[in-house]
Chain A
Amino acid sequence: MTHGLTDAQFFEKVSSFLGPFYIALALMNGLAALYLWRSGQLKTWLKLAKGIEIPNAIVWLAVAMGFAILGAVAGGGMAESLSLPESFREAINKSTGPVIYSAGTTVILIILFFFREFFVRPAVAWTIWNLMWLFLGLSMTDRDFFEIVAKPDNVPIVMLVFLLAFFTWLGTSQAVINDRRKENGEPPMEKLDNEKVLVWPDLVYPELICMIALTAFLIFWAIALPAPLEEAASSVKTPNPSKAPWYFLGLQEMLVYYDPWMAGVVLPSLIVAGLMAIPYLDFNKAGNGYYTIKERMFSYSIFQFGFLEMWITLIVLGTLLRGPNWNFFGPYEHWDAHKVQALNNVNLSEFFWENMLGRSLPGTLALADISASLDPSNWPSWIAWLGGIADPFLQFFSLLFGRELPGTLLVLGYFIALPPLMALTVLRNFYKRMGFIRFMVMANLLLFMGSLPIKMLLRWIFDLKYLISIPEYFFNF
């Protein structure tokens, strides 16, 4: 998109975007200040000497002024000066990788969760919101960042990050208020105003307005950011990088760690089946019709982990940070198709037999081998015919419990031994409430969900390719 532009031309292009961008941010903060003032939510934040008090509206107004100045600077052709320091960008590029990214987002989400009472405060949330936009604006002057973020394909992902931040805040803040009310013995907020309203016009009319507004927005978007056209499709030429539609990028990231059969068929089906099973597994009647976190701690944390961590952050990773050859690129890094990244992966069986025991991999077993070890003359003639049928099975199971024994034991232990252990220890109450079958279904769904991050960790730490690897029969786990 910015190929063939000189630096001056590039900054001119960025300026034309950043000027209105900062003005919009200034307007946003100005409106917030106006709202606080008109609705009488002024609070004194700073007390200067001589009794001069500075309320929150004034602070946001000052922020709006700041953004307006930034807008003037950026629009006035000095966008280059409004960028993050080169050393800082270099440090980010150097330090990021799939491991840091995934672990970092997990830690951030955990911090946000545990200190949610602090983070949902309007002033704190609004500050973070402003910082997010500011970060975007300051990063835009980086050529490589602009290239990725401003690509018409990727604009919805940037919107998704902001929208998701907003809606997560909205839901969490309601839940925090409700939880606080519950502690004081009050009913949740939603119970205060439970008057029913008419479908027409109270529901249908806003829906109509939304429909029209959304259509107008889509038309505007389609005109402003035309969908990119690529060269004609060819069965022998795959674009590099080759990316799935954005909503499947989480799956594509899963495919990096799993066999296609597993990550493309089994796990997606389990996601759908698991979501469908939730109403039958859920025994907690609380939280019906109102936001709450404390009353549904287990459901909330599991769902948010599955959605925010394992779906959304993987989409963001796949869209913005995966470049040519599916290598990881930092946000300010140039997408170099020849970036060398050594990822020498080993199967568990090779690791176990060759590295630990220092011997070659055990071979397969066939019926003829067994018969040869005994006296062959005693065997009737149909044994050869039987071998033709039984040998594939024999071979498969001899691989499964021979060469791949360590992995098989680990996987079987994970799925068979862990659920009873969980029922006896951490999830004892769940087992009592749910009964055997429901608990086992839930435990196995949970374990399948957990198998993805576990596999990612094993790949990152031990360069492990597959726990069970039987490529002869397309069976890899």
Chain B
Amino acid sequence: MAEKKKMSVADILAAARKTDGGSAASEEPAQAESAQAESAAAPVENESAADASPKPTGTKSTGKAKPAKSASGGRLSVAEMMAMARGEKAGGTAEKPATKKPAAGKPKPAAKKTAAAKAAPAEPRDTASILAAARKSSKAGPMSKAEAAAKEKADPKAKAKPKIIVPPMPSKPAYAMPTPAAAKSKSKGAGQEERRDFLWVGFGALAAVTGIWSLASLKFLFPNVRREPPSKFKVGFPDAFPAGQVQTKFKAQYGVWVANAEYNGQAQIYALKSVCTHLGCTPSWLDAEQKYKCPCHGSGFYKDGINFEGPAPRPLERCAIRIADDGQIEVDKSRIFQEEMGQWEDPSCYIPV
């Protein structure tokens, strides 16, 4: 049982077939001798019986069965082989030399199957256990490092890689050789080539359609909707903004505060964008503390928009503001003035009071 590796079902069956074929070919007197052969002399077909008692399905052991098997081409079905293995077992010791001899006598023994079957206890077994017995060479399942080391020590050859024998490539037969005529037709472009060219028409059409479609879908990125309120809007007459007050009622709709307060000692009406210069949250005007306070990270701004606490790095931004022709204050959110850039000096970002 010097099995190097586990066998697959195919391997086992192939080995079994080989052994059967071999024993059938060789005329063995020992096999003819056996008592069971006599009892099973009747010309029973191989398929007939599968019970445990010795019978002609033990093809190997009967002289009579031999012709029958050779007639069927020396190949057996799986069921037959299993039954045979069982019969062999039942045959007991008398069978042993018989099975051994052909195995030893053959140039290629492949006797794994017979050897395994012989070693097994003499009782009927099912397919699974026979296959398992044939396969089993070592403990199943994972093993510890210690076990692996022990196994390696016991079987040092197991580590050696099996040699891979590559069969030589068969030479190209004459009919597969490229003929000068075929080469010529290829270069010329026969009818086949024209049909293939038509594929390109298809691909071209597909590409064109895809291109037009994707162009059409681009349009969906620019829907016919106005998402923003108009950037220019009127907030009322200047006398609606008493000194020192921050008007918060435009915040919800337009996102600006309009305040009348001093900046650098000069009283002005100005519009501050209600977007925190830290990360863009919306601060709230806290009247009690007289500051704009951001709820996200706690940045704080004075009434004139100058940052003084928290992480905001620069003052709030101003929007353009002017007195429109009708006397109302008009805020233009599209123009932004930043203090740190010195843009608050621009007269279009405040209305002097």
- A residues near B, CB below 8 A? 194-198, 234-242, 252, 255-260, 264, 324-327, 338, 340, 342-345, 465-466, 469, 471-472, 474, 476
Contact = CB atoms under 8 A, between A and B. Distances in A.
A235 B143 CA distance: 63
B310 A345 contact: yes
Contacts of A240: 284, 295
B16 to A, nearest CB: 32
Contact of B288 (A241, A338, A344): A338
Interface in B250-300: 251-253, 255, 274, 277-279, 281-284, 286, 288-289, 293-298, 300
A260 B286 CA distance: 24
B313 A252 contact: no
A345 B282 CA distance: 20
B251 A260 contact: no
Contacts of B281: 238, 242
Contacts of A474: 313
Interface in B296-310: 296-298, 300, 308-310
Nearest to B253: A236
Nearest to A325: B293
Contacts of A258: 311
Task: Give 3 nearest A-B pairs by CB, closest first.
Answer: A326-B298, A471-B314, A240-B295
Nearest to A322: B298
A236 B311 contact: no
B298 A256 contact: yes
A289 to B, nearest CB: 13
* Max count, chain B CB within 10 A of own CB: residue among A236, A242, A256: A236
B319 to A, nearest CB: 14
Given A235-B255, A237-B282, A472-B341, A326 B296 contact: yes
Given A237-B252, A238-B282, A472-B340, A326 B144 contact: no
A264 B279 contact: yes
Contacts of A469: 313
A260 B314 CA distance: 12
A256 B311 contact: yes
Given A344-B309, A471-B314, A471-B340, 12 more contacts: A194-B145, A236-B253, A257-B311, A260-B279, A326-B294, A326-B297, A326-B298, A340-B288, A469-B313, A471-B277, A472-B340, A476-B313
B141 interface: yes
A311 B277 CA distance: 26
B109 to A, nearest CB: 36
Nearest to B295: A240
Contacts of A238: 281-283, 294-296
A239 B295 contact: yes
Interface in B103-142: 141-142
B306 to A, nearest CB: 11
Contacts of A338: 286, 288-289
A196 B144 contact: yes
A197 B142 contact: yes
Contact of B310 (A195, A234, A256): A256
Contacts of A260: 278-279, 311
A212 B327 CA distance: 71
Interface centre among A252, A326, A469 (most CB of B within 10 A): A326
B314 A198 contact: no
Contacts of B251: 236
Given A342-B309, A343-B310, A471-B340, A236 B282 contact: yes
Nearest to B296: A242
B340 A344 contact: no
Contacts of A342: 309
Given A238-B296, A260-B278, A326-B294, A344 B308 contact: yes
B81 to A, nearest CB: 32
B341 to A, nearest CB: 6
A326 B310 contact: yes
Contact of A343 (B143, B144, B286, B298): B298
A238 B283 CA distance: 7
B278 A255 contact: yes
A276 B143 CA distance: 34
A342 B298 CA distance: 11
Given A197-B142, A238-B282, A338-B288, A465 B298 contact: no
Contacts of A235: 255, 282
Contacts, number: 94
A253 B279 CA distance: 13
A259 B314 contact: no
B313 A195 contact: no
A237 B142 CA distance: 62
A180 B223 CA distance: 70
A117 B281 CA distance: 47
A241 B295 contact: yes
Contacts of A252: 296-297
A234 B252 CA distance: 9
Nearest to A342: B309
A465 B311 contact: yes
B295 A325 contact: yes
Contacts of A476: 313
Nearest to B256: A236
A198 B141 contact: yes
16 contacts: A196-B142, A198-B142, A235-B282, A236-B282, A238-B294, A241-B295, A242-B281, A242-B295, A242-B296, A252-B296, A324-B295, A325-B284, A326-B296, A340-B288, A343-B310, A345-B309
Contacts of B279: 255, 260, 264
B252 A236 contact: yes
Interface string B210-250: 00000000000000000000000000000000000000000
Nearest to B278: A260
Contacts of A327: 298
Contacts of A345: 308-310
A234 B80 CA distance: 81
Contacts of B278: 255, 260
B309 to A, nearest CB: 4
A324 B298 CA distance: 9
A439 to B, nearest CB: 33
Contacts of B340: 471-472
The residue among B142, B298, B309 with the most chain A CB atoms within 10 A of its own CB is B298
Interface string B131-167: 0000000000111110000000000000000000000
A257 to B, nearest CB: 7
A256 B297 contact: yes
Contacts of B289: 338, 340
B283 to A, nearest CB: 8
A258 B277 CA distance: 13
Interface in B301-353: 308-311, 313-314, 340-341
A196 B284 CA distance: 62
Nearest to A328: B298
Nearest to B314: A471
A255 B299 CA distance: 10
A236 B144 contact: no
A126 B152 CA distance: 48
Contacts of A466: 313
Nearest to B145: A194
Contacts of B297: 252, 255-256, 326
Nearest to A463: B309
